[in-house]
A and B are shown apart, each in its own frame.
Chain A
Amino acid sequence: QKEVEQNSGPLSVPEGAIASLNCTYSDRGSQSFFWYRQYSGKSPELIMFIYSNGDKEDGRFTAQLNKASHYVSLLIRDSQPSDSATYLCALHDYKLSFGAGTTVTVRA
């Protein structure tokens, strides 16, 4: 079983809608979860991370963590065409173990 399973997409949403991205993971004890955005041909750039159960909001992004269900998600509100990218979920327990990524396309 992979450490991090990410819904593979692709995901297409209209501009202004909410994009929902999900990951499940194999528990490694103490860990946090990072969300990165990666544009084609570029390196990953940090969106946000979450360590505690519940929700964490940063601008248009909300990360949600449910440790009992081994589930982590990222919501993108008011999606913009510039949000079109691949989103990587990563479990961090000293190293980053990435999911396969979800490609999001925001339609203008």
Chain B
Amino acid sequence: DAMVIQNPRYQVTQFGKPVTLSCSQTLNHNVMYWYQQKSSQAPKLLFHYYDKDFNNEADTPDNFQSRRPNTSFCFLDIRSPGLGDAAMYLCATSRELGVTDTQYFGPGTRLTVL
């Protein structure tokens, strides 16, 4: 089945230790998104790629970076995780950027920072 896959599902890191989260998709969608969802809060967009074009949200901290080496894969790098970065990180894809293009979410990676 076509889907959005995230690895790992659970990630534990130490304060300040870089971590990379992975997302892959078999939908062949042009757009890939990363959202951060903290406990009992709504998901918040960090950035998105349209093909190779990277688009950062204005309030996304510099500590968060992303790479998209090809259509199928997208990575979220957190350079120096702080305790406040503990959250569920959700990858989503959509075919295009149109207002009726559905975003499909992966299962998420839950990040714990010790």
Contact surface of A with B, Cβ cutoff 8 Å: 30-32, 34, 36, 41-46, 49, 51, 88, 92-101
Contacts and interface: CB of A to CB of B under 8 A. Distances in A.
The residue among A31, A92, A101 with the most chain B CB atoms within 10 A of its own CB is A92
B33 A95 contact: yes
Contacts of A94: 97, 99
Interface in B35-60: 35, 41-45, 48, 57
Nearest to A99: B42
Given A99-B42, A101-B42, A93 B99 contact: yes
Query: How would you classify the secondary structure of chain A's contact residues: helix, strand, loop or mixed?
Result: loop
A88 to B, nearest CB: 6
Interface residues of B, number: 23
Contacts of B104: 46
Nearest to A101: B42
A88 B48 contact: no
Given A30-B99, A31-B99, A93-B99, A43 B105 contact: yes
A49 B100 contact: yes
Interface in B86-107: 88, 90, 92, 97, 99-100, 102-107
Given A30-B99, A42-B107, A94-B97, 7 more contacts: A32-B100, A34-B103, A43-B106, A88-B42, A92-B99, A92-B103, A98-B43
Contacts of A99: 42
Contacts of A96: 35, 43, 45, 92, 103
A43 B92 CA distance: 10
B99 to A, nearest CB: 4
Nearest to B31: A94
A43 B36 CA distance: 11
Contacts of A45: 105
A99 B44 CA distance: 10
A51 B100 CA distance: 7
A101 B48 CA distance: 23
Nearest to A95: B45
